[in-house]
A and B are shown apart, each in its own frame.
Chain A
Amino acid sequence: MGGLAVAVYVVIVLRLFFLQMVSRPAFLKKAEANRIRVEVLEPSRGGIFDRQGQQLVENRPSVTLYARPWTLKNNPAAVKALAGYMELDEKELRERIGRRGWFTFSPIAVQCDIPFTLLAVLEAHQIDLNGIEFKMEFKRAYPLPEAVHLLGYVGERSTEDIEGGAERTGLTGKHGLERVYEKYLSGEPGIRYVQVDVSGKSRGLAPDMPEVQKKNGWNLYLNIDGNLQRRAYELMAGRPGAVIAMQVEDGGILTMLSLPDYDPTIFSGVVSPKVWNQLATDPDHPLLNRTVQGQYPPGSTYKMVVLTGVLEEGLLTDNSRVTCRGGLQVGNRFFLCWNKRGHGVVDWRKGIQMSCDVFFYHQGLSLGVDRMGGYARRLGFGAKTGIDFDVESKGVAPDAAYMDKRYGKNKWAKGQVVNHAIGQGEVLVTPAQLMVYTAAIATGNLIKPRLGDFLENPKTGERIYIEPDIKKVNISAATLAKIREGMTAVVNEPGGTAFRQHRRDMVLAGKTGTSQNPHGKDHALFVGYGPADNPKIAVAVVVEHGEHGSSTAAPIACSLMEQYIHDLYPGPPLPSFAALVEKPVTTVSDSLDQQLPDSLGSTDE
């Protein structure tokens, strides 16, 4: 009998060997899960600053309500009371609290950004509401609401496990710069291991598990000029459209404005589905960032593409003339010039200056669809600009391959080129592309626009620069010089479509455009750069339903450029334009080259 007893004990020892030696890791893990409560230390999200260092996005303190499901599990009265105070359906509240199960000790975020009045009520009743907690958290605030589209918005992080069931809460970039630079802005959460006993009470930090330090998010410094952004907002006066402006030396975006906009504060916490649906289904598309997502027929602003093409291909000489009688018969269709009385005899310079459609119908026909599409691509159309924004449209720069694909091989009329030549038909561009194209003409460089300038580590001061990306544009200098001359004439010579915008103290260049809109009034466009001789800024403006580029878009663009150039050169006023025009002007830009640097030299560089 003693032997039998010992045999039973041997069996027990074998079982213990299995429990303690073989399956130890699994049990140890369970023991650790029992005793360790993982607390996530939320890093503070990086701020966003403009080029002058004014803060465009900051963190606003707010209070988040947390609940401990394990504690509330056996206290339905408290849940009911809480639902009452929150004016929430009890069932919905239970769903929120129990979304990660009711057997967890870790607090679950129930509602963030609770109003102060609710906080006061809950704190007064906290004794009856055992199992709820408040945590100070940060939400986003936007001191410059005019910049809402480029900054984008943040949202509640979808559940993301850190470790042991603890989840990272707080905000994550959902759109715009908040999303593009999320990796840096969000920082890295720290982890604190708290030892708890069976009742869930803390027994202090676990001595054997060191805390993981949190790393706060990096600050993002933009090329955006907050003052200029505000100015653009004023100039647009609430009309729908887009304004985008860039420093031409390095591609830094100075202004990016899209209208209509929305109130950024609705995205600072939890967006209710109702508000979201309202925004998403609004026929005016307030969520759309028109500067990079909006696709418009460029209208006459596209004419520099055509002119570049014919000049590069040698299809047009300085002596070439076209007579405009207010329209042109092509095949069985008669294409009108915008000026039905006709422009008379037009050379390349007048063609741009007066934006003569008939002149460009002729150039388009000689250039052809395919070559025109090729030059458009060289100037940045039909492809994303590569701006550091999370969404961007490509636009359409139609060439033969595109037309074949769209209509079937040889199923399209060659006469379509007549439409393309005036930026209509299949051609679609974004305001950002128009700006890059204008800058390419002004500088001979195809420049990648950059909203961000650099990121700065708030602790170490370490910086990561968003490097400029500048490529030479594949167009001869002579051609570019002519285009610039034409664009300068548009603004600065009588008869130019934007002559009303000429300035006494500076020389701006540009091109107006009016694009036909099948859904309503025509869109008004203007692209421009300045100063004409030493370009600093390139700008593109679209005013939806603005009807005429010359009257609606041009004043906005030119005023914006004027302000920027003034800010840049606060010295004596530039020579008056009147002095320039009295001379026999052959090439405006040549004369500017001789005259302007003297006055600029005092402050430039």
Chain B
Amino acid sequence: MNEPVSIKRAFPDTTIIAMLVALGLVGLALVYSAGVAKGNLSIFYKQSLFFGIGVIAASVLTVTPPKFFYALAYVVYVMALFFLGAVLILGSVGFGARRWLDLGFLVVQPSEPAKLALIIALSRLLADWRKKPSWKLVGAVGLLAMPAFVMILMQPDLGTSTVFPVICLAMLAWHGIPARYFLMLLLPFLALITVALPYLVVPMLLTGLYWLKRAGVNWLGLAVMILICLGASVVGPKAWDHLEPYQQRRLTSFIDPAADPLGSGYQVIQSQVAIGSGGFAGRGFCKGTQTQLRFLPQQHTDFIFSLAGEEFGFLGTSFILLLYSILIWRGYQSANQIRNQFMGLAAAGMTAMLFYHSVINIGMAMGNLPVTGLPLPFLSYGGTFLITCLAAGGVLLSASLHRRTY
């Protein structure tokens, strides 16, 4: 215990801390600029306060021992489900959906912390699974995530609901289930795509059969899979009809934003114009015309990356991506290095969640992915989400701090 090495090792990952702080500060700067554009800096002050709260939350989580997370995993998840249920009944309506819970002194969005709760609960489920990974395990994971997924879909919040299956898949992958399971899980979605774009059927079928043969699937399994795919092809279009028109438009408009430049394509076009007009060095802090004259919609929330692109240019956007890369890289590293399987799963889940959010949001801002309304971690305005992201960072730090603990 007197060895200096062990003292050094008893400190959380400084790189992750640096990335969290750097991203947080960049986020505050961007929200400040959005506030200037709004002519009201209150969002900046609020975000600063949330950042402070988030830092405290992250610090508390950092020093929390893994066994504590383990013990409370299901309790926290049940609480999260309770809040999600409460939103459906008592939630306040905004943008045509019930997403917020007014607690009197503050408004929270329970779907954000629910992501963390699911990750912790899944970590415990997977860590407790002593047998070989099997379809049973996949089924158990699916069952655990289902209530949260369905309740968020009912809000409705399509974008956020997609995070839950992604978390499940990422953690199953981390746990080490065989690749063919993934293929099978993804196959219905591929079948759906072929319904929308029929000319893809033949190449996809051929690649699929080739892969299945290599993966060594028996013919019964293949028959089951084909049935599932056919089912998806029948159910898919019906499900599409059940989507709200705004959801349909969002999903399709990214393919060709110019088709409806003043409707659903408007946001995407203005976002691309903002990013593109930034050039190499950007148009200057608080000087982007798309942002400051408010041609860029949702500039402090969903499209804050476009604000960064406009005002700080390629330098700014690639710097932000560098910060994300280092954070995600270190996140997976600390998940790898940890001896406690539960904490490793939790760290991997948190990292995957942050990664998924960043890619979907930036892809949307660049006009390459549908407008799903997923916020950008650490940068988008929104108290619940910022605190959630910093808390996820706290779990990562806890994992790095307790990497030698079993």
**B-contacting residues of A (Cβ < 8 Å)?**
1-2, 5-6, 8-9, 12-13, 15-17, 19-21, 23-24, 26-28, 30-32, 34-35, 103, 195-199, 203
> Is B122 engaged at the interface, CB distance under 8 Å to the other chain?
no
What are 22 A-B contacts defined by CB distance under 8 Å?
A5-B351, A5-B355, A9-B359, A13-B321, A15-B366, A16-B366, A17-B314, A19-B366, A20-B275, A20-B278, A20-B317, A21-B280, A26-B276, A30-B269, A30-B277, A31-B274, A31-B310, A34-B273, A34-B293, A35-B295, A196-B293, A203-B293
> Is B142 engaged at the interface, CB distance under 8 Å to the other chain?
no
CB pair B325 A6 closer than 8 Å: yes
A34 to B366 Cα, complex, angstroms: 19
- Known contacts A12-B359, A16-B318, A31-B277; A1 and B174 CB within 8 A of each other: yes
CB pair A20 B321 closer than 8 Å: no
The winner among B289, B290, B328 for most chain A CB atoms within 10 A is B289
Q: Pick the interface stretch among B231-239, B241-249, B329-337, B398-406.
A: B329-337
A24 partner, pick from B173, B276, B289, B317, beta carbons under 8 A: B276
A73's closest neighbor in chain B, by CB? Answer: B262
> Is B67 engaged at the interface, CB distance under 8 Å to the other chain?
no
B354's closest neighbor in chain A, by CB? Answer: A5
- For A12, the chain B residues whose CB sits under 8 A away are 321, 359, 362-363, 366
Chain B 347-390, CB within 8 Å of chain A: the 1/0 string? 01001100100010011001010000000000000000000000
- For A5, the chain B residues whose CB sits under 8 A away are 325, 328-329, 332, 351, 355
Q: Which 6 A-B pairs have the closest CB atoms?
A: A27-B276, A2-B332, A31-B277, A20-B314, A197-B293, A28-B277
CB pair A19 B276 closer than 8 Å: yes
Given contacts A5-B328, A6-B325, A34-B273, 20 further A-B contacts (CB under 8 A): A1-B348, A2-B332, A5-B332, A5-B351, A13-B321, A16-B366, A19-B366, A20-B317, A24-B278, A24-B280, A28-B276, A28-B277, A31-B274, A31-B289, A103-B262, A195-B289, A195-B293, A197-B295, A198-B294, A198-B295
B290's closest neighbor in chain A, by CB? Answer: A31
- For A32, the chain B residues whose CB sits under 8 A away are 289
A1 to B318 Cα, complex, angstroms: 21
A12 to B323 Cα, complex, angstroms: 13
CB pair B309 A20 closer than 8 Å: yes
- For B295, the chain A residues whose CB sits under 8 A away are 31, 34-35, 197-198
B170 CB → nearest A CB, Å = 8
- For B362, the chain A residues whose CB sits under 8 A away are 12
B126 CB → nearest A CB, Å = 15
> Is B272 engaged at the interface, CB distance under 8 Å to the other chain?
yes
- For A6, the chain B residues whose CB sits under 8 A away are 325, 328-329
B309 partner, pick from A16, A30, A195, A196, beta carbons under 8 A: A16
B345 CB → nearest A CB, Å = 12
- For A1, the chain B residues whose CB sits under 8 A away are 173-174, 332, 348, 352
A385 to B295 Cα, complex, angstroms: 61
- Known contacts A20-B280, A27-B273, A27-B276; A35 and B366 CB within 8 A of each other: no
- The count of residues in chain B whose C-beta lies closer than 8 Å to any C-beta of chain A is 43
CB pair A20 B293 closer than 8 Å: no
- For B188, the chain A residues whose CB sits under 8 A away are none
- For A8, the chain B residues whose CB sits under 8 A away are 355, 359
- For A9, the chain B residues whose CB sits under 8 A away are 321, 324-325, 328, 359
- For B310, the chain A residues whose CB sits under 8 A away are 31
B275's closest neighbor in chain A, by CB? Answer: A19
- For B333, the chain A residues whose CB sits under 8 A away are 2
- For A34, the chain B residues whose CB sits under 8 A away are 270, 273, 289-290, 293, 295
Chain B 290-303, CB within 8 Å of chain A: the 1/0 string? 10011100000000
CB pair A35 B293 closer than 8 Å: yes
A162 to B8 Cα, complex, angstroms: 70
B167 CB → nearest A CB, Å = 14
CB pair B294 A19 closer than 8 Å: no
CB pair A16 B289 closer than 8 Å: no
A205 CB → nearest B CB, Å = 14
A408 CB → nearest B CB, Å = 66
CB pair B289 A35 closer than 8 Å: yes
B274's closest neighbor in chain A, by CB? Answer: A31
The winner among A26, A103, A198 for most chain B CB atoms within 10 A is A198
> Is B393 engaged at the interface, CB distance under 8 Å to the other chain?
no
B30 CB → nearest A CB, Å = 16
> Is B257 engaged at the interface, CB distance under 8 Å to the other chain?
no
Which residues of B from 256 to 274 have beta carbons under 8 Å from A? 262, 269-270, 272-274
A105 CB → nearest B CB, Å = 12
- For B318, the chain A residues whose CB sits under 8 A away are 13, 16-17
- For B325, the chain A residues whose CB sits under 8 A away are 5-6, 9
A102's closest neighbor in chain B, by CB? Answer: B262
A24 to B313 Cα, complex, angstroms: 10
> Is B85 engaged at the interface, CB distance under 8 Å to the other chain?
no
A28's closest neighbor in chain B, by CB? Answer: B277
CB pair A27 B359 closer than 8 Å: no
B18 CB → nearest A CB, Å = 17
> Is B159 engaged at the interface, CB distance under 8 Å to the other chain?
no
A15's closest neighbor in chain B, by CB? Answer: B366
A197 partner, pick from B272, B294, B328, B329, beta carbons under 8 A: B294
> Is B279 engaged at the interface, CB distance under 8 Å to the other chain?
yes
- Known contacts A20-B317, A34-B293; A28 and B279 CB within 8 A of each other: yes
CB pair A20 B279 closer than 8 Å: yes
CB pair A19 B272 closer than 8 Å: yes
B391 CB → nearest A CB, Å = 20
B171 CB → nearest A CB, Å = 11
The winner among B274, B279, B294 for most chain A CB atoms within 10 A is B279
B292's closest neighbor in chain A, by CB? Answer: A197
B313's closest neighbor in chain A, by CB? Answer: A20
CB pair A23 B293 closer than 8 Å: no
A31 partner, pick from B273, B329, B355, B366, beta carbons under 8 A: B273
Which residues of B from 113 to 149 have beta carbons under 8 Å from A? none
A9 to B327 Cα, complex, angstroms: 12
B367 CB → nearest A CB, Å = 9
CB pair A27 B275 closer than 8 Å: yes
B13 CB → nearest A CB, Å = 13
A16's closest neighbor in chain B, by CB? Answer: B317
A33 CB → nearest B CB, Å = 9
CB pair B328 A2 closer than 8 Å: yes
A12 to B276 Cα, complex, angstroms: 14
- For B273, the chain A residues whose CB sits under 8 A away are 27, 30-31, 34
B280's closest neighbor in chain A, by CB? Answer: A21
Chain B 182-201, CB within 8 Å of chain A: the 1/0 string? 00000000000000000000
A70's closest neighbor in chain B, by CB? Answer: B262
A199 to B39 Cα, complex, angstroms: 15
B355's closest neighbor in chain A, by CB? Answer: A5
- For B173, the chain A residues whose CB sits under 8 A away are 1
- For B366, the chain A residues whose CB sits under 8 A away are 12, 15-16, 19
B358's closest neighbor in chain A, by CB? Answer: A9
- For A21, the chain B residues whose CB sits under 8 A away are 279-280, 314
- For B262, the chain A residues whose CB sits under 8 A away are 103
CB pair A27 B277 closer than 8 Å: yes
A30's closest neighbor in chain B, by CB? Answer: B273
- For B368, the chain A residues whose CB sits under 8 A away are 15
B156 CB → nearest A CB, Å = 27
B59 CB → nearest A CB, Å = 25
CB pair A2 B293 closer than 8 Å: no
A12 to B363 Cα, complex, angstroms: 8
- For B294, the chain A residues whose CB sits under 8 A away are 197-199
A27 to B310 Cα, complex, angstroms: 11
- For B331, the chain A residues whose CB sits under 8 A away are 2
B29 CB → nearest A CB, Å = 19
A13 to B333 Cα, complex, angstroms: 22
A196 to B294 Cα, complex, angstroms: 10
A319 to B378 Cα, complex, angstroms: 118
B331 CB → nearest A CB, Å = 7
A36's closest neighbor in chain B, by CB? Answer: B289
B204 CB → nearest A CB, Å = 22
B296's closest neighbor in chain A, by CB? Answer: A198
